[in-house]
Structure 1
Amino acid sequence: MPKTWNETRVAATLGIDYPIIQGPLGGLSSQRLTAAVSNFGGLGSFGAHGLDPHAIQDIIGEIASLTSKPFAMNLWLSMEDDGAASSDAAAFHQALSHLAPHIDAVGGKQPAFSPYKRLRFEDQARVLLDAKVPVFSFIYGVPPREILEEARKQGIVTIGTVTTVEEAVVLEQAGVDLVVASGFEAGGHRGSFLRSSEDSLTGTISLVPQTVDAVTIPVIAAGGIADARGIAAAFALGAEGVQIGTAFLACKESGAPPVHREAILSHHAGHTGLTRGFTGRLARGIQNELMESMNRSGAEILPYPLQRSLMRHLAAPAQQAGKAELLALWAGQSANLVHCVAVEDLLNSLVRGAAARIPSTRDSYSQDKAPTPAI
C-alpha cells in the first residue's frame, strides 16, 4: 500500500502521528502549548535551558498531566560563554549604561549588579533522565557519552540540532537518534558548536539535502518553515520531518506576551535581523529600535547568559507598557506567512496542506542518496 506523507522514520521513532515538531521556544515555552501539539499528534517541545532542576521537574510533571503522548524537553549543552564567570561589576555597569535609557523610557527599575550563579547542563539532564521523558532534544553541542547511553537504555529518543553538515556527522557518530538541520532563516538562537555562529550561516534549502546525503539518521528540517508549502519543500529536499517555531510562537497558547504575538501577526514582521545584543549569542528576531540600538558600534555586550539576564530588566516593563520597539521579538524570516492564532487551527492547516501537496510513495523512507550528475 502507498505510504502517506506522514509515515516517516521521524514519526515512527518519536511515536507520533505527524512528523511536525514544535520548536522549543526557549523562555517563551508553555506547558499548555507543548501538550496541545502532542495531543494533536505532533511533538510538543518545552525549552528548559534557563531553569533550575527543581523547576524542570515540576514542568515535566505538569506536561505529563496534560498529555499522555510523547513530548520533548530541550536543553542547551553550552550554558555560558567565555568570561561569564569572571565578569565583574564594572563590566555590568558598562553594559547597563547602553540599556539604561531604554529602561527609563518604559518606567523600569534600574538593576543592581549581582554575582553570576551557574546552572549546570548535567544537573538539568539528570532530571530529564530520572523522569524518563519521552524525548530529550538539545542544541549547542553533543551530550557526554554516558548521558546518551543512559537515554538509550531508558528508551528516551534524542534529537540534536545542527547548523552545518559537519555538526550533523558528529551527532550521528555520537549515536543521536534524530537531527534537526536548522537553516539561518530560523528565529531565535543559532545553535552552532563546531565553528562560530557567524561562520555557520547556511540556508535551509542548502543545508537540508547536504545533511540528508551526509548522514543515515533521519533529518528534520527547520528554518523558514511556516506553512504546508514549507513542509512540502522540506520533504522534497529529503527531510522526514519539520520543526516549526515562529508559527507556534504566534499562537495564543504559547508563552509569548500579547505584544510579541501581535508583532508576528501584524504582517510587518518580514524584516528580521541577527544580533548578539539580546542575550550575548547570535539570534534572529524582528528588526526594531532595540535591535538597532544593540547592534550599534560601541554597545557593550556581556557574555551569555549575563546579557540575557540583564535584558530581562527591560523586557518586563516594556511588555507591560506594550512597547514592541523595546522588546526582543524572536521570529524567523517567514514570519509574514503566519496567520493562525490558535494551535489547533495551525496544526489542521499544516496537516491538510501537507497531505494535499506531498504525494504518497510506495518506497520506505530510507533516504536514497542523490546520484552523481553526469559531466
Structure 2
Amino acid sequence: MPTHDAQPSTVVLVSNSSFFLYNFHRGVIEGLRDSGYRVVCLAPTDAHSAYLVDELRVEHRALGMEGKGTSLIGEGKSLLALLGTLLKLKPRYVLNFTIKANVYSGLACRLLKIPYTNNVSGLGTAFIHDSWLFRRVRALYGFANRGARCVFFENRDDQRLFMRLGLQKSTPSVVLPGAGIDPQRFAFAPQPQTPPLTFVLVARLIGDKGVREYVMAAERLHERYPQARFWLIGPSGISNRTAISDEEIAAWRERGVLHYLGEQRDVRPFLAEANVLVLPSYREGMPRTVLEAASMGRPAIVSDVPGCRSSVNPGVTGWLCEAANVESLEQQMQGCLDMPHAALMEAGQAARVRIEREFDQQIVVRAYLGCLQHTLDIELRKSVLATA
C-alpha cells in the first residue's frame, strides 16, 4: 500500500521539461497513479503540461528551470524556488530525471531530508564536452547522487563511468532498459511494401544528436538515390548549448533534400510509413526513439557510443556507425538502400521480438514501485520501533 495514513502519499517527479515526463515516463506516472499515490509532476510549463493533467490525470506544478542557463543568480533562484515547492508539497518520495533536475532536486532533497531517486537518462552536454563549468557540474552531480536511495541508469557504460569517477560511491544502482516501451501502444506495423525507402530521425534539434551528420549524409545520398526520402522530426528552439538555429533548419529545407516535419505529438504514423530510423547521437542513456521504432518493427542505424550501441543488436536489429562521422553514417544508410526488402523486414521483426523480451515498460514500472515501497516499509518499521 502506498500510504500508512488517511491521505495518499505524495510522490513528486522532477524534470527539466513536461515534454520529457509525458513522452518518456508516462508508464511510471500511470503506474504510480494506479497504485494510489498522489503524483505531482514538477517541470517547466510547455505544451505537454496540459497532457499530464488532462490525459494522465496527475498534478503539474511549474518549475523555473532553463536547460542551458548558467547564470549564478538565475540558477540560484531556480534552486530556491524548488526548495520552496518541495517544502509546500511535503512529498514522501521524489523521483528526479535529467541532469539539472538530478543535481538541483537532489541537493534540495538532501537539505530537506526527503528520500529520492536519481535517474541517469543520459549524460548529455556536461559529459560530452569538457570545461571548468562542466567539471563543477559533474562534482555537484556526484554529491547529489550520494544522497539518493538509488540511482537508476539506462545503460551499463554510464553506470561504470559514474563508478570510475566516484559520482555515486556506495549508493545502490540499477540498470533499467531505458524508460521501457508499451508494446501495445507502439504496435508492430509491417514494413511499407513499395518505394521510396524512407529514413527518419526523431530527436530534439541539437548538435549532440548528430542531426547535422544526418543531413549531410542525406544530401550526399540524394545525388545517387534521388527517390529516397529523408525525414526529420523533433522540436526546434531547444534550450541547449548545442541547439540548431531556425536559420540553419530553413537552409536545409530550401535545398530540397530534407523533409523537416516539425514536432509531432504522436510519431507512430510516421514510424509506420518509414523503413529505417537513424540516430547518430554522440551519447545517450537509452534512446527512446530507437525503442519506439523497434517496437513497431523498424531497424535502426545508431552511433557506436554508450546508450546507442545498447539499443540495437548489431547486424540483427540494426547497424552501428561511428559518431560524428558523416562517411560512416552514409555507408550504413547506403547499405539499407541496397538491401533486399526481405532483409529489412527480417531486421524489423527481430527488433520487435527484442522489445517484447527485454524492454517492456512494466520492467521499469516495477523497479520504481519496488524502490518506493522499500523506502516506505523502512519508514514504517522505524515508526513502529519508535513508539514501541
Q: TM-score range by the shorter chain?
A: 0.3 to 0.5
> Going by fraction, where is helix more abundant, 1 or 2?
2
Higher relative contact order (CA 8 A, sep 6+): 1
Which structure: larger Rg?
A: 2
Q: Give me the TM-score of the superposition, normalised by structure 1.
A: 0.39
